Structure 1
Amino acid sequence: MSEAPWNTRAKREKLTELMFEHYNIPAFFLCKTAVLTAFANGHSTGLILASGAAHTTAVPVHDGYVLQQGIVKSPLAGDCITMQCRELSQEMNVELIAPYMIASEETVCEGSPANWKREKWPQVTRSWHSYMYNCVIQDFQGSVLQVSDSTYDEQVAAQMPTVHYEFPDDYNCDFGAERLKVPEGLFDSSNVKGLSGNTMLGVSHVVTTSVGMCDIDIRPGLYGSVIVAGGNTLIQSFTDRLNRELSQKTPPSMRLKLIANNTTVEQRFSSWIGGSILASLGTFQQMLISKQEYEEGGKQCVERKCP
């Protein structure tokens, strides 16, 4: 199983106890997501930048071990972008409709109100509706949003090409400067509406802060393997902007190398892929906590076998 790099000892021991006592499994292993992401990219040392729904995190990994003192987290992540997209739709008077609610729709001219009929479904759960609603926003993010090449400038953004997008209810329009302004919050918190103050770390600052908290001798290895993962890193031009900002912040004596997977699936589910690689190794059987080891050493053995 994978776990967050900052998972506490008490929770790790509780999970181990649950798996052996409740589910009666024959063997168990626990590994941190950052380590698995490094393995998925063929590295045992590197700085893992993961930007998911709740957090954007930088986790230093050295020889397959997470350096706890260097973990840095920022709330500027996917949920923040989703909130910005919702506010944008409200400002533009665009009603976001989950696809399952639509029985039929008629083609309308650009910018004209949607004309659709509601599907007569039995009442669905709130969680299902929320999931389908977020799918609409995620599709919009992947199709429309783009990270600016440099710090957001409204005049420069206004000259960028527009992107045409059609919503599930057939409402369609062009998006211009706003498609660059929404993801700017990942790099600069002052562009995020509703935040009190702008002291939250942007993506590039998360990376440099994390590296700066590690021993000076291993910093070249971290800067030389900055591995990006998570759904937000798939936003158009994200890695280009990150690479540009880190190049300006990296000491001249160190070589910067940004590593991003070639496919969407690999970048989004890198920890799962790393887990499959680890489990396929011939030495993996010796790494496992066996039922016998658990019975002899108790739940505390997870700290020794799964650092």
Structure 2
Amino acid sequence: MSDSKTGVKALDSDKTKPKRKLYVGTQALDYRRDHMEVISPLKDGVVVDWDIVDNIWNYAFRQRLLIDPKEHPILLAEPSTNSPLQREKAAELLFENYKVPALFLAKNAVLTSFASGRATSLVVDSGGGSTVVAAVHDGYVLQKAVATSPIGGEFLTDCMMKSLESKGIVLKPRYSFKKKEISPGEYQIVDLDFPNTTESYKLYSTRAIAGDIKESVCRVPDTPFEEAAYANVPMTPYELPDGQTIEIGADRFKVPDVLFNPSLSQTIPGMESIADSTSLRGLPQMVIESINKCDVDIRRELFSSILLAGGTSSMQQLKERLEKDLMEEAPQAARVKVLASGNSTERRFSVWIGGSILASLGSFQQMWFSKAEYEEHGVSYIQRKCP
């Protein structure tokens, strides 16, 4: 499994080469190369480039885990919104290219639910590229009740980056300068010029800084953000990689509130062109919509078992604000309870934790989709073995 950060891939765009050269992982991305583009195999959490996924899996098996996939059954976590075609492509790739002995596909929301010891829950998974709200009942995702939004951590990072740029703050990527010591303890910044650096690499490097700012200073406001109310909030200092210290005020609250009010992004210079942000729903609306699409007899249980997952869900005060907003919008009889691990690492990797629990159960061993079954029934059999 890879999260949205390590799932990024760099490639050399030199047109004279017959085949693109691929570099995988964050370590490869830390080294700037001329003409190198940065691309992701995912869009809104769904695979759009299987060649890159193949390379990432190969890197994970051979260079990180140091295993031969032929010797290990694979449990693969998948988005709750995955299409039958996507599932079959993943199965085909693992059986044909990696010769795995057996495979099981499990939905992200189900694994998050298992990680918290629940078979029924409403999972709010806010990751890098998207936010997905999915109802899980007796260990299965109720597909009719899945709500999605393209607003995730990367969108919020872009909001922060554009807002700072509109105020004249320059975020210098780490590769674009060096520090020269002019006297003991005193440094001068020397700009470096790399004309063959691609726009996608510049953007990746700048986003890395904006993302750290977001994670360091942002906090979800207790009530919906209003410019006038937050005009005089105390400023919070942040030291940039080049040694410059900037002061961040209202943006600390405005950026995270985009999760609750997507149309707020329209007020940030440079983000106005993002399509449909005015029609997108905030987190509370997605939760209510998802629960209302479920049978009446399980709605009460879902309201009392709302699980937060994904890196973006670790934003300060997000749990408290979501619970407060839902209490105002939910039916009076509902007992709203938002649950989240106090450990941000556990929230970010709840899918992986749930997968490790599921794969270790004795009762799970009979559920594998084996290589023999694949060869006998074909790849479409995955739909029956892994509903």
- TM score, norm. by length of structure 1: 0.90
The separation in 1 between residues aligned to 2:196 and 2:112, in whole angstroms, is: 40
- What is the number of equivalent residue pairs in this alignment? 301
**In the TM superposition, what is the alpha-carbon distance from 1:128 to its structure 2 partner?**
5.5
Would the aligned equivalents of 2:158 and 2:207 in 1 still touch at CA under 8 Å? no
**In the TM superposition, what is the alpha-carbon distance from 1:57 to its structure 2 partner?**
1.5
Indicate whether 1:212 and 2:292 are aligned.
Answer: yes
The separation in 2 between residues aligned to 1:279 and 1:125, in whole angstroms, is: 42
Gapped runs of 5+ residues in structure 2? Answer: 1-75, 267-271
Comparing 91-100 and 141-150, the one that deviates more? 91-100
Would the aligned equivalents of 1:105 and 1:170 in 2 still touch at CA under 8 Å? no
Look up the equivalent residue of 2:255 and give its one-letter code: V
Q: Choose which of 114, 118, 134 in structure 2 pairs with 1:43.
A: 118
Structure 1 runs (4+) deviating above 4 angstroms are 119-130
Structural mapping, 1:232-271, within 5 Å? 232-271=312-351
Gapped runs of 5+ residues in structure 1? Answer: 108-113
Partner of 1:188 in structure 2?
Answer: 261
Change (3 A) 1:191 1:118: same
Partner of 2:238 in structure 1?
Answer: 165
Q: Choose which of 173, 198, 201 in structure 1 pairs with 2:281.
A: 201
The separation in 2 between residues aligned to 1:137 and 1:106, in whole angstroms, is: 26
**SS of residue matched to 1:104:** strand
Structural mapping, 1:1-307, within 5 Å? 1-104=76-179, 116-118=189-191, 129-193=202-266, 194=272, 195=274, 198-307=278-387
Would the aligned equivalents of 1:98 and 1:129 in 2 still touch at CA under 8 Å? yes
Look up the equivalent residue of 2:102 and give its one-letter code: A
Would the aligned equivalents of 2:265 and 2:277 in 1 still touch at CA under 8 Å? no
Look up the equivalent residue of 1:191 and give its one-letter code: L
Comparing 278-287 and 215-224, the one that deviates more? 278-287
Would the aligned equivalents of 1:105 and 1:169 in 2 still touch at CA under 8 Å? no
Would the aligned equivalents of 2:220 and 2:318 in 1 still touch at CA under 8 Å? yes
Identity of aligned residues (%): 39
Higher relative contact order (CA 8 A, sep 6+): 1
Look up the equivalent residue of 1:298 and give its one-letter code: G
The separation in 1 between residues aligned to 2:333 and 2:90, in whole angstroms, is: 44
Would the aligned equivalents of 1:56 and 1:77 in 2 still touch at CA under 8 Å? yes
Look up the equivalent residue of 1:224 and give its one-letter code: S
**In the TM superposition, what is the alpha-carbon distance from 1:296 to its structure 2 partner?**
2.0
Change (3 A) 1:115 1:235: farther
